[in-house]
Amino acid sequence: MAALLRRARPGTMARGGAGSPAAILIMLAAALVFPLLEGANVAVMGIATEGLTYGLVTLALNLLMGYGGQVSIGHGGLLAVGAYTTAILATRFALPFIVVLALAGAVTGVAGLLLGLPAGRLRSHYLAVATLGFGVAVPQIALNLGSLTGGFTGLIVPAEQLGSITLGNPVPLYYLALCILVASVLAVRSILSSPTGRRFMAVRDSEDTAPAMGINVGRTKVILFTTSAFFCGLAGYVFALNNAIVEPGSFSFSLSLFFFAAVIVGGMGSVGGSLLGAVLLVIVQHQAVSLGGYSEAILGVAVAVVLLAVPGGLAAVPRRLRGLVAGARLRHPATAGAASLREEPPGPPSPTGAPREG
């Protein structure tokens, strides 16, 4: 899907938006004080931790899509691998939590590596199908490995202890999830500014010129999928503890769609946007849950509205507002919001979204 992403030029959209240090500090402060307000409410804390978990998966997916130019509609499967690894380890061995967490990340990273191998060769919709297949296969495999995974009923995750703290309790788990998320955000940022991160973006920008700069495209994609999967594995650890049960039914195709939507709503190529998008969609989903089928429809409408009204996602909103203000000052409304997907310079349209020749 690199070709499909190329015209979107993410990464350039986020600056000064939800990805700016100020915005991230505000979000962090809000996240830190949140349990002081709602800590007693178990249901709300569960949803808040889910927001952090899904935020981490969305960040991992955005690393893949927004910075690496690849596509995945199977990240729910990676979350499942992390969650199952956690549940299997926690039910069988008495390992310290940090070991379980690291193994959840590592095992999921290996799964991502396996997924990345064909991805190195596939593009566009064909890559989408491979990842889709992975996403639907993981719960099915879990269903068939009953002796390991508990089959249809799944595994009940025992509460883990860290000293005198029970990690399964809502507030400690929330803070643990927040720590993992913050550490992951810092890790993703340092990856992005490293040579590896620049290789990701070079592959995203052109799979043809990247090899000319000495970049091994296939290997870069495998590293990208492995890295993205590792963070999903960490999220899977929190998911397992937060849900207390890991069962195949939790990892439906719509979960993968949820992460995909969160990336778009938040803004491709924006770290802060990923978190914002995921948290917003979690809130929308839970607010609408009593509405039955409407909740699904509302999520769909949210996606459509963002695409039509703010094509750059939430991350582009501050920029667009600034653009509008500046545009009004200059009495040149046409220049407003130049940072949107829609106002890319109109190249010659090509039916496949990529030049045919070469």
Partner 1 sequence: MTVFVQLVVSALGFGGIYALAALGLTIIFKTSNVVNFAYGAMATVVAMLVWTAQTGLGLPAALAWVLAIIGGGALGAASEIGFMRRVQESAPLVSIVMTLGMLLIVEGLTGVIWGYGPKAIPGIITGPSIAIGPVSVDRGGLLIVGLTAAIGLGLYFFYERTRPGLAVRAVAEDAEVASLMGISRRWVLTLSWAAGVAVTGAAATLAAPSVGLTPTLMDNIAVFAFAAAVLGGLGSLIGAVVGGFAVGILADLIAGYASANLQLTLVFALIVVVLYLRPQGLFGRAAQVRQ
Q: Which stretches of the chain bind partner 1, using CB under 8 A?
A: 1-5, 7-8, 71, 118, 121-126, 128-130, 132-134, 136-137, 140-141, 143-144, 207-208, 253-254, 257, 260-261, 264, 268, 292-304, 307-308, 311, 341-342, 344, 346, 348-349, 351-356, 358
Most distant CA atoms of the chain, gap in Å:
69
Closest distance to partner 1 from the beta carbon of 166 (Å): 36
Residue (196 or 252) nearer to partner 1, CB: 252
CB of 155 closer than 8 Å to CB of 88: yes
Residue (45 or 264) nearer to partner 1, CB: 264
Residue (165 or 303) nearer to partner 1, CB: 303
155-156 vs 245-246, strand pairing mode: antiparallel
CB of 55 closer than 8 Å to CB of 278: yes
Question: How many Å apart are CA 123 and CA 129, to the nearest integer?
Answer: 10
Closest distance to partner 1 from the beta carbon of 249 (Å): 13
Residue (230 or 259) nearer to partner 1, CB: 259
Question: How many Å apart are CA 194 and CA 185, to the nearest integer?
Answer: 14
Closest distance to partner 1 from the beta carbon of 347 (Å): 11
Residue (34 or 84) nearer to partner 1, CB: 84
Closest distance to partner 1 from the beta carbon of 284 (Å): 11
CB of 192 closer than 8 Å to CB of 67: yes
Closest distance to partner 1 from the beta carbon of 330 (Å): 25
Closest distance to partner 1 from the beta carbon of 235 (Å): 21
- Residue 51: which of 33, 31, 71 has the closest Cα? 31
Question: How many Å apart are CA 224 and CA 69, to the nearest integer?
Answer: 10
Residue (134 or 174) nearer to partner 1, CB: 134
- Record the tokens describing residue 236, joined without a space: 């899977």
Residue (132 or 181) nearer to partner 1, CB: 132
CB within 8 A of 233, min separation 6: which ones? Answer: 78, 81, 82, 85, 104, 105, 106, 107, 108, 109
Query: DSSP letter string over 11-55?
Result: TSS-TTTTTSHHHHHHHHHHHHHHHHHHTT-HHHHHHHHHHHHHH
Closest distance to partner 1 from the beta carbon of 273 (Å): 14
Block residue for tokens 């909740």: 295
